[in-house]
Structures are given as structure tokens and as C-alpha cells.
């Protein structure tokens, strides 16, 4: 008697489910909101690994200590043997997973794997399934990538780019095919980028040969029109220029990152935001040679919290109004952040001759340690007028609140409110205490053309009413 293959499989599955020796209670379920990593501190004398990365802040093998939903790890492989439901889930996960190695990626850090990554992405993006699709960059390997654009839209509503291993950039400037962006995601909806791996921009060769303002250097990771994307649990370091750029995105969430570059590396911002709204950045450690986070024109409803910043240039609004441009930023909340050894703390910077506004901004629960310029509004940023600029104009700064702020400044100047001719209005200082780190020195505030109120402020801010 001939029995069809379908009938055989059906009988096998029924027998497995009915077996009394197998229980679903043995499965390990990892929650979607996996705990964020505590990266620790980075100091000048911190020991580094062969990639120049802090061992103290990011020890070797940390990513393997975290359990993920990767159906190929040993835990799940063991679970499959004892649980038919887990077997079925694993089979389904494998059909929705695209490993770059299966598309020809070598992962030795020497062979260019860009083509293999694009082929894996193309296959995943075109897949007709409506389930979550995952592109896997496996751990234990270093994948060399040249400039690459992962473009959408994809068929699936959710796409996961899981970086478990390391991705490295070319260390020869001449080998780069695009000197504006390195890794770009464009028009991909439902995107998650995570996995516990590393992204190394090999920026040192750029800083040495091309460190000036007029020299074009690539951004490491760029997101354009990727609404609702999530970026988490990664280390991104040594970008040639800014590490992460978020442009024209609505509703992204960024958390659990370690972003690192030497404090003297030029223009290596941690995260730059522009033309985006409803952005959340939280629970990350950023240590670079420029702004930890910069919020540029066209951005609104930005929430930043639980950030360790330093070294670097602090968290900045702007610069705005460059070359007479119209700029706007509003509804920004920065809370529960720590600044250590930064050249600035919380800063608003605008150019003379620009126009527009920066308004409805709150800095709350901020701690400074040995920070230069802890609180600063600078409306004379890089004032280099041209004949086409109307120097009587300025970006209007208003409704800025500093609340529950404490710590120390590197010298005596704790607060600077240097406002342009139009003045800054409704500036509020509420329970602010910043003392000087210098022995026997008292901190002070400088203000020009700023208007608002101050209560329980040390130092006293003379231009604000008490």
C-alpha cells in the first residue's frame, strides 16, 4: 500500500504532539523588550582591543551573552528536539531568514562582501511572505562592505536586519565607491536593525588625510524615509564623519547603542537628526569628537533620555540659520542625561543672519561632570556675514526650560545666554546648581539679551527675573 508523503508527515506531527514526554514548558521565550545593555564608562586610559575599541565598555563576546530569537543558536536547537511546537516555529523561522553567508559572503574582513549583502537583501525584500523577514549577519565573522544602499519598499511589513558579527569599512580611501554615505537604508518601512554586533567605520584613515571642513567624508549609517524604524543593541564606532544620520523619518526609536570615536576625531557626531518628527533616542552611551546628538532644522517632537555623553560636544539644537537659511525646531525634551568631560553640555546654536525658530525645548534632570559650557545659547555661532545675508535677522529662540540640573563645570563659566538682537524669550531656570571644579572659584553666568525667569539657580542669572 502506498502512503502519500503529506499523510506521513501529518501522522508524525500528531504522534509528536500526543507524546506525554514532551512539554512546551521547556521552551525558552525571550521577551521582545530585551533588557538594554549597561556599557559602563570610557576613559582616556581605557584598554582597547585590536580594533581600537574599549574592552571595559564593550568586552569581547558580550553579544553572545544575550539571548535572542535566533532559531539557529544552540539553545533553540536543543529545544527543537523536545518540543514539536518549537520545531514548527524553527522551520518557519528558517524559511523567513536570509543569511548573507548563503549568498556568498566570506566574512574574513578582506574579501569585499557588498555584492553578497545586496543579493541577500534583494531576495528578502522581494519575498512574498507577510511575516517578519530577517537578514542575518552571523557572529564570529568580519564582513568587509563598501558603500551600499539597502532600498525599499519591501513586500513584508516587518524587516529585521540582524547584525550579530562585525561589519567593517575599507581602510583605503581610494577603494570607496561613495564618499558621502557608507551604509544607507532608504524607504524601508517596519525596519529593525539590531543583533549585538559591531559596525567599524575605519575612520582613522579619513581623519588623517581628509580632516578639514571642506573635505567630503562618508556618514557611517544613514536612514532616509524609513518611518517607524528601530535601531538597537549595536556598537558603532570610528565613523569617517557622523556615525548615524536620521533624515525625513517619522517615529523612529533608537536605544541600547554604544557609539565611540576618539575625542579629537573631526566632525564625528554620534546621531544627527534632520527633517524628522517623533524621534525617541534613549539608553545609550555616546563618546565622540563632536556632538553626541545634534538636532537640525525640520525636526519636531524629539525625546532624548538616559544618555551618557562624553567625551564630545554635548547635545545640541542646531546649528540653525546657516547662510541666512530659514530653520525650525520645536517640541524637544532632553531628560536624565549625564555629561562627563564634554566641551559643551546642552546647547542651542544659531547663525547670525538666519531666520525661523527654536522653541518649546526642555532640558530636565541633567547632570554635568567637569563640563565646559554646561548651559549655552549661542546666537553668534560662526558669524561670517556675506553680502547676501541680512544681519538684522535671527532665529527666534523661545520657551526654553532648564529644570533640576546639577553638577560641575570645568572652569568658572557655568551658564551662557548670548542672544541676538531679537532676544531670547521665556527662558526658565528652575532649580539649577552648577559649581566650578576649580579650587576656591565660584561659577558665574553670562547673559546678553535674554528674558525670562529664574528660581533657585546657582549661579545667579542676572538678566532673568527672580
Enzyme catalytic residues:
313
Which residue from 104, 90, 167, 153 is spatially nearest to 124, judged by alpha carbons?
A: 153
Which residue from 326, 325, 297, 306 is spatially nearest to 316, judged by alpha carbons?
A: 297
- What is the arrangement of strands in the sheet containing 181-186, beginning at the earlier edge strand? 148-151, 181-186, 219-224, 244-247, 271-274, 293-295, 315-320, 346-350, 375-378, 413-418, 444-448
Compute the distance between CA of residue 378 and CA of residue 412 in angstroms, rounded to an integer: 18
Pairing relationship of beta strands 230-237 and 191-194 according to DSSP bridges: parallel
Compute the distance between CA of residue 294 and CA of residue 314 in angstroms, rounded to an integer: 9
Compute the distance between CA of residue 270 and CA of residue 236 in angstroms, rounded to an integer: 9
Amino acid at each position: 500500500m502506498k502512503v502519500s508523503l503529506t499523510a506521513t508527515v501529518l501522522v508524525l506531527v500528531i504522534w509528536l504532539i500526543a507524546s506525554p514526554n514532551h512539554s512546551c514548558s521547556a521552551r525558552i521565550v525571550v521577551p521582545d523588550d530585551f533588557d538594554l545593555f549597561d556599557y559602563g564608562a570610557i576613559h582616556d586610559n581605557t584598554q582597547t582591543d585590536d580594533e581600537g575599541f574599549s574592552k571595559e565598555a564593550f568586552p569581547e563576546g558580550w553579544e553572545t551573552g544575550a539571548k535572542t530569537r535566533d532559531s539557529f543558536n544552540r539553545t533553540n536547537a536543543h529545544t527543537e528536539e523536545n518540543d514539536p511546537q518549537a520545531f514548527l516555529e524553527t522551520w518557519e523561522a528558517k524559511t523567513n531568514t536570509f543569511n548573507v553567508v548563503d549568498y556568498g559572503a566570506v566574512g574574513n574582513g578582506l574579501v569585499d562582501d557588498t555584492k553578497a549583502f545586496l543579493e541577500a537583501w534583494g531576495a528578502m525584500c522581494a519575498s512574498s511572505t507577510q511575516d517578519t523577514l530577517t537578514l542575518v549577519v552571523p557572529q564570529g565573522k568580519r564582513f568587509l562592505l563598501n558603500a551600499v544602499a539597502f532600498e525599499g519598499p519591501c513586500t513584508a511589513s516587518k524587516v529585521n536586519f540582524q547584525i550579530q558579527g562585525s561589519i567593517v569599512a575599507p581602510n583605503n580611501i581610494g577603494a570607496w565607491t561613495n564618499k558621502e554615505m557608507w551604509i544607507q537604508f532608504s524607504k524601508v518601512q517596519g525596519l529593525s536593525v539590531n543583533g549585538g554586533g559591531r559596525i567599524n567605520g575605519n575612520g582613522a584613515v579619513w581623519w588623517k588625510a581628509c580632516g578639514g571642513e571642506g573635505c567630503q567624508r562618508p556618514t557611517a549609517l544613514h536612514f532616509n524615509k524609513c518611518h517607524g524604524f528601530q535601531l538597537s543593541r549595536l556598537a558603532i564606532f570610528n565613523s569617517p564623519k557622523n556615525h548615524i544620520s536620521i533624515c525625513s523619518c517619522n517615529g523612529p526609536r533608537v536605544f541600547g547603542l554604544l557609539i565611540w570615536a576618539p575625542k579629537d576625531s573631526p566632525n564625528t557626531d554620534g546621531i544627527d537628526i534632520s527633517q524628522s518628527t517623533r524621534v525617541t533616542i534613549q539608553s545609550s552611551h555616546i563618546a565622540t569628537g563632536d556632538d553626541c546628538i545634534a538636532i537640525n532644522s525640520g525636526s519636531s517632537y524629539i525625546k532624548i533620555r538616559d544618555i551618557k555623553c562624553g567625551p564630545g560636544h554635548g547635545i545640541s539644537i542646531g546649528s540653525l540659520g546657516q547662510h541666512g537659511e530659514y530653520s525650525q525646531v520645536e517640541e524637544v525634551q532632553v531628560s536624565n542625561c549625564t555629561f562627563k568631560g564634554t566641551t559643551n553640555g546642552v546647547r542651542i546654536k544659531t547663525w547670525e543672519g538666519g531666520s525661523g525658530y527654536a522653541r518649546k525645548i526642555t532640558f530636565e534632570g541633567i547632570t554635568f561632570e567637569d563640563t565646559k559650557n554646561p548651559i549655552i545659547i549661542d546666537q553668534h555661532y560662526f558669524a561670517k556675514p556675506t553680502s547676501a545675508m541680512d544681519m538684522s535677522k535671527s532665529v527666534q529662540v523661545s520657551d526654553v526650560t532648564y529644570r533640576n540640573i546639577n553638577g560641575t563645570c570645568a572652569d568658572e563659566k557655568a551658564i551662557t545666554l548670548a542672544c541676538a538682537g531679537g532676544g531670547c524669550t521665556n527662558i526658565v531656570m528652575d532649580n539649577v546648581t552648577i559649581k566650578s571644579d576649580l579650587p576656591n572659584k565660584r561659577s558665574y553666568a553670562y547673559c546678553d539679551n535674554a528674558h525670562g525667569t529664574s528660581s533657585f539657580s546657582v549661579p545667579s542669572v542676572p538678566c532673568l527675573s527672580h
